[in-house]
Amino acid sequence: TGGQVMAVTVEELQKHNTLDDCWLSIRGKVYNVTQYLHFHPGGVDEMMRGAGSDATDLFNEIHRYVNYESMLKKCFVGPLVIE
Ligand code: HEM
């Protein structure tokens, strides 16, 4: 059972930029990656570079082939609002 989905503004996204409350956006979708951080093969610090922001470019530069949509299914917060 999925949680509630909510559209996320950039302003809201930016608030979640810490180790114990970390959201990031990839290709228009926002994910709460707080739990995943510690399983990231590239390490916590690498992933924190994208914390609280649109990390699409960063993600694409390093591993555009990674199937994050399936990996982060349970971490989906909602679509990023384009302002
Ligand atoms: C590996 C960076 C987000 C999944 C890595 C590596 C780096 C990196 C530097 C190591 C590559 C290597 O040693 O060759 C980042 C950054 C991210 C990010 C800067 C966002 C700001 C994500 C996300 C996922 C993910 C969202 C999936 C949910 C993986 C996987 C690997 C990996 C599966 C190992 C496979 C591979 O290296 O090809 N990442 N990552 N990463 N990352 Fe990320």
CATH code where residue 53 lies: 3.10.120.10
Cβ(40) to ligand 1 under 6 A?
yes
- Number of domains the chain is built from: 1
**Residue 2: pLDDT over 70:** no
What residue numbers bound the domain in which 52 lies?
A: 10-79
Tell how far the Cα of 61 is from the centroid of ligand 1, in angstroms.
10
Q: What is the pLDDT of residue 83?
A: 78
Dist. CA 23–CA 53, nearest whole Å: 8
Tell how far the Cα of 69 is from the centroid of ligand 1, in angstroms.
13
Instruction: Please give the ipTM for the structure prediction.
Output: 0.87
Let me know if residue 47 belongs to a domain: yes
Q: What pLDDT, in 10s, does the model give residues 39-70?
A: 999 999 999 999 999 999 999 999 999 999 99
DSSP-H helix ranges across the chain:
10-15, 44-48, 56-63, 68-71
Q: What is the pLDDT of residue 64?
A: 97
- Taking the CA of residue 49 as reference, the ligand 1 atom at the shortest distance is 21
Q: Which two tokens stand for residue 75?
A: 């971490």
Q: What pLDDT, in 10s, does the model give residues 62-77?
A: 999 999 999 999 999 9
Q: What sign for the dihedral angle of Cα 55, 57, 62, 66?
A: positive
Let me know if residue 36 belongs to a domain: yes
Mutating to test ligand 1, I would choose from 53, 62, 64, 70 the residue with most ligand atoms within 8 A of its C-beta, which is: 62
The Cβ of residue 9 has, within 10 Å, a number of other Cβ atoms equal to 13
Q: What pLDDT, in 10s, does the model give residues 3-12?
A: 789 999 999 9
